[in-house]
Amino acid sequence: MTIHRVLSAVLSYPEQPLLDGLGDIDWALAEWPQARGMLAPLLDVLRHEPLIRLQENYVATFDRNPAHSLHLFEHVHGESRDRGQAMVDLLEEYRRDGFDMTSAELPDYVPLFLEYLGALVMDGKDERAEQLLGDAIHVLAAIGDRLARNESPYAAVFHVLRTLTDTQPQPQEDPPVRDMDEALETFGPGADGVEPLLARKPEVEPVRFYPRDRATPTPINP
């Protein structure tokens, strides 16, 4: 198990299989003692809190607080059409690398993205995984900082991620505010009836973890 997949597991919605597998996670973390120490408070919570309380806390932390959203592009593009295209581009990256999405989550869901990075490492594509993490670390670090300010144990996951890349996170601006109803009114549904956020453009672009009008490093191409 790669460190990325460990982080993906502990950042996912808590279910009984996760709690049953904490022993395996401890065993896997023996290879990364620094990460094990950083994750210790979160793992203690997962071990000792009742499952229903863990689930309630998870929903309150991530689903009910947009500042902690686990959807990467929500922090960059809000609900604009650019977010939809960014997700399409990321999905194309997954497909090109033979990564099969086994969940119904959107491509920019952080645990899914980390699972993908772990798959790259397992395939011997460590450099590519580090490049992608370095491109996304600005958003990931911002989420972690907000979680830390709210004293959430989940902040530890994002702190570990910062140790896995040499890229220094840059401050992030607030995403544009736009709700789904406004997006539908502005753009309308796609020809196939799909909501505009998931509408697809014919061309494939590099993955962008930042607004188009910001001066940033060159996006990663396959």
Tell me what pLDDT residue 79 has. 66
pLDDT number for residue 222: 40
Token look-up 């929903």 returns 59
- Does the reported pTM lie above 0.85? no
3-state SS of the chain is CCHHHHHHHHHCCCCHHHHHCHHHHHHHHCCCHHHHHHHHHHHHHHHHCCHHHHHHHHHHHHHCCHHHCCECCHHHHCCCHHHHHHHHHHHHHHHHCCCCCCCCCCCCEHHHHHHHHHHHHHCCCHHHHHHHHHHHHHHHHHHHHHHHHCCCCCHHHHHHHHCCCCCCCCCCCCCCCCCHHHHHHHHCCCCCCCCHHHCCCCCCCCECCCCCCCCCCCCECC
* pLDDT for res 174: 60
75 — pLDDT class (breaks 50, 70, 90): confident
Q: What's the pLDDT tens digit per position in 147-194? A: 999 999 999 999 999 999 999 998 766 655 544 444 444 444 444 444
Domains, the chain, in order of start with CATH, read 3-163 (1.10.3480)
CA angle 143, 145, 146 (to 5 degrees): 65
